[in-house]
Amino acid sequence: MVTIRSSKKTSWKRAVAGVMMAAALVAAPALSASAVSSSSSSKLPNTGAVIQANVWLCNTWTTSCGFQTSAKALKSGSAYKVYKIRNTADFNAWGIGTVTVGGVTVAGTSGTARNLVWTNYNTWISDHSGSASATWSIVALGLCSGAYAEVSGVRASSSACVGV
């Protein structure tokens, strides 16, 4: 709470400036937090590479929310080509109603889920992105990104999750 005390020494300009500064400090965290994200990685044994799961989900939504998930194979921070790489986007919704992506229901009443799966071959990345639409009665939305890679008979997986 901001209290402004008026005195003859304090000008009205200083009072207004103080209120504006306080409002900016209160609003700044809310404005800068437009999304939540997470990342996790696991080693691809005997390759020097890792499989990385990434997830990004908006955290300011009413009926729709942007999202991105990816699976990446990396070696020393650069793309590492694998035989097979798969990304799974797992949505979870809490409340009464549904969440849809591209007209497909991916989550329903109180925690039920459905996966979006994309597999690529002979490359380093597999990903999803888009917008999830929710009915008015969904109170929370969760999203996990699953990453799986296979190269020279070696397999590894990783996952990362967020919720709003």
DSSP string, 3-71: -----TTS-HHHHHHHHHHHHHHHHHHHHH--EEEEEEEEEETTTTEEEEEEEEEES--SSEEEEEEEE
Are 124 and 77 within 8 A, CB to CB?
Answer: no
Q: Which fold has domain 35-163?
A: Immunoglobulin-like (2.60.40)
Three-class DSSP category at 137:
coil
Question: Residues 6 or more apart from 57 whose CB is under 8 A from it?
Answer: 35, 36, 37, 65, 66, 67, 141, 143, 162, 163, 164
Q: How far apart are the first and last CA of the chain?
A: 27
**Residue ranges of the domains in the chain?**
35-163
**From first to last of its 164 residues, what are the pLDDT tens digits of the chain?**
333 333 444 444 444 344 344 444 343 333 344 889 999 999 999 999 999 999 999 887 777 888 999 999 999 999 999 999 999 998 888 878 778 887 777 777 655 566 789 999 999 999 999 888 887 788 888 889 999 999 999 999 999 999 87
> What pLDDT is recorded for position 122?
98
Question: 119 forms bridges with which residues in the sheet?
Answer: 86
> What pLDDT is recorded for position 111?
56
> What pLDDT is recorded for position 141?
83
> What pLDDT is recorded for position 60?
77
> What pLDDT is recorded for position 115?
79
> What pLDDT is recorded for position 34?
83
